[in-house]
Structure 1
Amino acid sequence: MPSSEPGSPVYSKNTLEFIAVAKSYCEVLETIDQMEKDRLVEVMLRLLPLLYLKASLLPSTDLIGDGSVETFATETHYGLLVEQMASLLEADDTYVNVYHPDIALADGAVAASVSEGLADLWQVMYDVVEVFRQGYDEAMNDALYLCKESFAGEWGPTLLSVLRALHGIMYIETAPLTDED
């Protein structure tokens, strides 16, 4: 049964604010079928920096359990999100990821997908939000620990790369190539 331990990282102000932003992020992507491209880009340009900030403020904690936390995001839902966002973003879905870890091994630029990046973030956020929704302290603690650990090397860099790509979609005008170029 859930219990609210005072001083627990699970119930800290920073954790609860992070969960609130993560929940908002998930809710936005769950309404993707009702959005226009410009609105998606605009909302993500506001939400992603806030999500990054709140994640950077998460308190430290240690694993209580064995490190396995229940997952809720399904491949079907993930695939549907990617498909819907890719359809919405069209040609703007692909961008050059200059910070990709394999860039040194690549013969050229490493292409990445905004829709896949946003769906990757959704998967992490959805799982942690659902664990918190259940309200079991040990599971919430371990989900918080794993989320913070994966922020440093996995979803944090993904968020930043996608944010840069979305910034380009919103603010950087690219001129189409013509035969005269």
Structure 2
Amino acid sequence: MDDLQHIGYSREVIEFVAVAKEFCGYLEGSHEEDASELLSKLQKFIPLIYLKGSLLPSCESDNLGMMEEVVTEEDYNALLATLSRTLGENDEYLEVFDENMQYSETPVVNSISEKLCDIYQDLKNFISAYRSGMIDVIEEALWQLNNSFELYWGKACASVLRAIHLAIYKVVDTDDSM
């Protein structure tokens, strides 16, 4: 089969790569943003990433272990610190859909910045593998990305979007009748 006919070069994958690259680049330069600008951009990015991720074609891989993780712990922690500092009081939110909630007597608190870093890590690792241009590596990376979407970063997108929405539109109860 011609390499360009491979599933890794389908329209859905190429569109995902473009959005993921833009998202990762934006987060890497987010130290220049204030909280309201960051939240506003994320409000648009997160649904787009989720949509493009949900449209990725299924892929099987026999080459497990070929994908290199490029996001180091230092990279992750530096981005986390930047996002956390920028978001400030808007960073933490209560998560009612967390699986640990059923075992907890206290609310489960999550962090927008941590969820964003987790999404970033999966997307950045995929983009790096995709850039290799090697069909076997792209195939494995796509398989891992799909698995991770189903198990984690898809849920992270859904969760963090709700928190971003609440941070942007801080709804105040004005019902004085109580």
Instruction: Provide the TM-score with structure 2 as the length reference.
Output: 0.93
Identity of matched residues, %: 31
Runs of 4+ more than 3 Å apart: none
Query: Aligned residue for 2:123?
Result: 125
1:6 is displaced (CA, Å) by 4.0
Structure 1 segments unaligned to the other structure (5+ residues): 176-181
Matched, 1:19 2:23: no
1:8 is displaced (CA, Å) by 1.6
For residues 19-54 of structure 1, what are the alpha-carbon distances to aligned partners after superposition, in whole Å with 9 as ceiling and x for unaligned?
111101100001011111111101111011010000
Distance 1:152 1:138, change over 3 A: same
Distance 1:68 1:97, change over 3 A: farther
Which of 151, 161, 175 is residue 163 of structure 1 equivalent to? 161
For residues 79-112 of structure 1, what are the alpha-carbon distances to aligned partners after superposition, in whole Å with 9 as ceiling and x for unaligned?
0111111111111110001111111011121000
Matched, 1:29 2:23: no
Rounded Cα–Cα distance in structure 1 between residues aligned with 2:2 and 2:95: 42
Q: For this pair of structures, how many residues does the alignment match?
A: 174
Q: Is the 8 A contact 1:63 1:145 kept in 2?
A: yes
Query: Aligned residue for 1:9?
Result: 7
Alignment-mate amino acid for residue 94 of structure 2: V
SS at match of 2:103: coil
SS at match of 2:83: helix
Structure 2 segments unaligned to the other structure (5+ residues): 174-178
Query: Aligned residue for 1:52?
Result: 50
Rounded Cα–Cα distance in structure 2 between residues aligned with 1:40 and 1:135: 32
Rounded Cα–Cα distance in structure 2 between residues aligned with 1:38 and 1:58: 31
Instruction: Provide the TM-score with structure 1 as the length reference.
Output: 0.91
Rounded Cα–Cα distance in structure 1 between residues aligned with 2:82 and 2:151: 27
1:136 is displaced (CA, Å) by 1.1
1:14 is displaced (CA, Å) by 0.2
Which of 84, 96, 99 is residue 98 of structure 1 equivalent to? 96
